[in-house]
């Protein structure tokens, strides 16, 4: 049985879910947070050490300003509301992506990282303003000044995910089969699960089923 150290999730389908319920896309984002809480609890229960959640991509800035503003306000309130609980439960929060938000949100994010940095139970990497290509470009630009040969280890240790093992599995909800510029380097050998359900409908049971399936996969890593 495969061990699971790191799960990565593309939480997709909030907008469609909100519209399907005859409400707004933003309503879908709001209800999507309930799934985040469910998945966090379950991940701790399963003793998984790392969870990376794709919350906002570098491409998501193209969305209408109103939706973008709503998403960041939602995140702000979510953190203000839940941070103590996360801290109590041993969650360490880390932001991956460039922190280019309002001063207020930057402050909240920095504070959340600082407050939880010694926690050991589960590290949650929140991908915010994250894009894999820009992450790689940033790393290569840093490395070009060092007159050293580039190798795999050096690249890995210059990404936002430095010191974090690569995800063992990737889950994408929302019935869309693409990576959308998420962890392109880190997912090189991940097992990928595309889930038909929209993110707000995804639950513990769906998550457990995927984890169980993953455990039984024969992972070759090029070998036989």
Select the residue interacting with ligand IPE from 178, 196, 213, 215 (CB under 6 A): 178
Near ligand IPE by CB under 6 A, which window of 11-19, 39-47, 96-104, 158-166?
11-19
Residue 97 binds to ligand IPE (criterion: CB under 6 A) = no
Is 69:101 a contact under the CB 8 Å cutoff? no
Q: What is the dihedral of CA 102, 105, 110, 115, to 10 degrees?
A: 170
Question: Minimal CB distance to ligand IPE: which residue?
Answer: 15
Nearer to ligand IPE, 64 or 222 (CB): 64
Near ligand IPE by CB under 6 A, which window of 5-13, 117-125, 131-139, 146-154?
5-13
Known catalytic membership, residue 60: yes
Catalytic residue among 60, 111, 119, 203: 60
Is 187:167 a contact under the CB 8 Å cutoff? yes
Beta-carbon neighbour count of residue 116 at 10 Å? 19
Q: Distance between CA 29 and CA 12 in Å, rounded?
A: 10
Tell me, rounded to whole angstroms, the distance of Cα 16 from its chain centroid: 20
Nearer to ligand IPE, 6 or 25 (CB): 25
Residue 10 binds to ligand IPE (criterion: CB under 6 A) = yes
- 26 makes contact, choosing from Mg ion, ligand IPE, none, with CB < 5 to 8 Å by partner type, with none
The number of residues that bind ligand IPE (CB under 6 A) is 18
What residues have CB less than 8 Å from 35, skipping those under 6 apart?
A: 11, 199, 200, 201, 202, 203
Nearer to Mg ion, 12 or 168 (CB): 12
Among 208, 207, 172, 206, residue whose Cα is nearest residue 190: 172
Q: Distance between CA 149 and CA 144 in Å, rounded?
A: 10
Q: List interacting residues with Mg ion (CB under 5 A).
A: 12
Just list the catalytic residues.
12, 60
């Amino acid at each position: 049985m495969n061990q699971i150290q790191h799960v990565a999730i593309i939480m997709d389908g909030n907008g469609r879910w909100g519209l399907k319920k005859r409400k707004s896309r933003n309503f879908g984002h709001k209800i999507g947070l309930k799934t985040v809480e469910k998945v966090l609890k379950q991940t701790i229960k399963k003793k998984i050490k790392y969870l990376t959640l794709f919350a906002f991509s570098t491409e998501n800035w193209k969305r209408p300003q109103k939706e973008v503003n709503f998403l960041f306000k939602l995140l702000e309130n979510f953190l203000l509301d839940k941070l103590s609980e996360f801290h109590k439960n041993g969650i360490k929060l880390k932001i991956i992506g460039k922190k280019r938000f309002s001063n207020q949100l930057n402050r909240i994010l920095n504070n959340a990282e600082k407050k939880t940095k010694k926690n050991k139970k589960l590290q949650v990497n929140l991908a915010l303003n994250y894009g894999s290509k820009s992450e790689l470009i940033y790393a290569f630009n840093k490395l070009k000044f060092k007159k050293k040969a580039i190798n795999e280890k050096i690249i890995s240790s210059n990404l936002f995910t430095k010191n974090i093992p690569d995800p063992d599995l990737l889950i994408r909800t929302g019935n869309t089969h693409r990576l959308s510029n998420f962890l392109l380097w880190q997912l090189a050998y991940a097992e990928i699960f595309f889930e038909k359900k929209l993110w707000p409908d995804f639950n513990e049971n769906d998550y457990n089923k995927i984890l169980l399936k993953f455990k039984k996969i024969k992972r070759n890593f090029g070998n036989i």
